[in-house]
Every structure is written in C-alpha cells, then in structure tokens.
Amino acid sequence: MAGRRSDTRERIQQVALELFAEHGYEKTSLREIAERLEVTKAALYYHFKTKEDIVHSLVEKLVGAFDELLHWGSAQPRTHETTEEVLRRFSSLVNDEYGSEMQFIQQNVPTLKKFGVMMPLGQKVRELFQLVGAEGDDPATELKARLALVALVLGINPMFGGPEAAPPPEVALKVALELVAPRP
C-alpha cells in the first residue's frame, strides 16, 4: 500500500512538473493537475493540499539526492578521481534523474524564494562546492572545481537559450572535467 501511495505521489509530481513547464507555475492549477492525472481534485488533495506542497516535495527529493551524493563523496579519499566522480554523479543528477526539477527551479527562483525552499537547496550546493574544492589549498584549483559544478548547472539552464539551445549534457561534463584536470 505504501508503495502505491509513493507511486501516486511521484506521478503527481511528474504531471505537475509537465504542466508547470507548459503553462508556468502561476498559471497551473490543482484542478488542471487532477484533470491531467484523470483523478478527482479530492484524490489529489489526499496527497498534496497545495501546489506549494508539491514544490516542497520536489525540492525535498532533490535535497535528498544531493545528500546521498555528499555522503558518498565525503566517505571517499580526497583525490582527483573522487572529484571527477562527484562531477559525473552530479551531472547525472542534474541532467537525468532530476533534470526537470532543476529546470523548474531555475525558471522559478523568485517564486521558490517566497516558499523558503531555496535555502536548503543553496546549503547543499555550498556543501558540494566544499566537497569538490577540498582537494588542495590553492585558491585557483578550488575555484576551478566550483566552476565545474556551475558549468554542469548552467549547461541545462533555459535562461541561456532554452533546452534546445543548451549544449548536450556530455559537453557540459567534458568542460567540467577539463576545469578540474591536473595541469602538467
């Protein structure tokens, strides 16, 4: 039963993200989400009372994924290989597993700030910066590692020409890896 409830919540989140992308967050109603799901509004209310609740649940999932990456990375030795693997895993998160959520967040920062969800997400990004920049004491090396994370996020940012104009994820990853590559 808990598995079914979880599946339903995930389906609601997926449909909400689709509608938010199509019409914008502000112009999407819970009624429209229920209609797309072919359920009653009451059935939707069982899982989420408001659109804001849906957004909070999306950000919680993303923060949880970042926590898993941070936990894994923190347990690894501080090596160049670890930094590269953190970047690969982060690329997978922001492009594959949570690509829609990341694009939604980037398109709706002002609204999300009002909901108070940007603070926990920002904290996780700061922790990722520390994790990838922790390899040495050289400020330039640390900055390059942080810029590598930024390259992965900006690679999917619709503000810079939309998803169609954004470079393929593998290009952003290649650039990120080049930023952290050891110099002879």
Residue 142: give its domain's CATH number: 1.10.357
Shared domain for 55 and 138, answered yes or no, is yes
44 and 71 belong to one structural domain: no
Same domain, 118 and 164: yes
103 against 11, higher pLDDT: 11
Least confident window among 9-18, 37-46, 134-143, 157-166: 157-166
Q: How many domains does the chain have?
A: 2
Same domain, 7 and 72: no
Residue 11 and residue 90 in one domain: no
Find the mean pLDDT for residues 17-39: 93
**Do residues 61 and 26 both lie within one domain?**
no
Per-residue pLDDT tens digits for 78-116: 888 999 999 999 999 998 889 889 888 888 888 888 888
Judge whether 133 and 145 are in contact, CB under 8 Å: yes
Work out the pLDDT band at 160, boundaries 50, 70, 90. low
- Reported as a single tens digit per residue, the pLDDT across 57-76 is 999 999 999 999 999 999 99
- Identify whether residues 114 and 163 lie together within a single domain: yes
> Could you tell me the residue range of the domain that residue 88 belongs to?
51-180
Residue 1: pLDDT over 60 = no
Does one domain contain both 45 and 56?
no
Same domain, 2 and 64: no
Q: What is the CATH number of the domain that holds 37?
A: 1.10.10.60
99: how many CB neighbours lie within 10 A of its CB? 16
Q: What is the pTM of this model?
A: 0.85
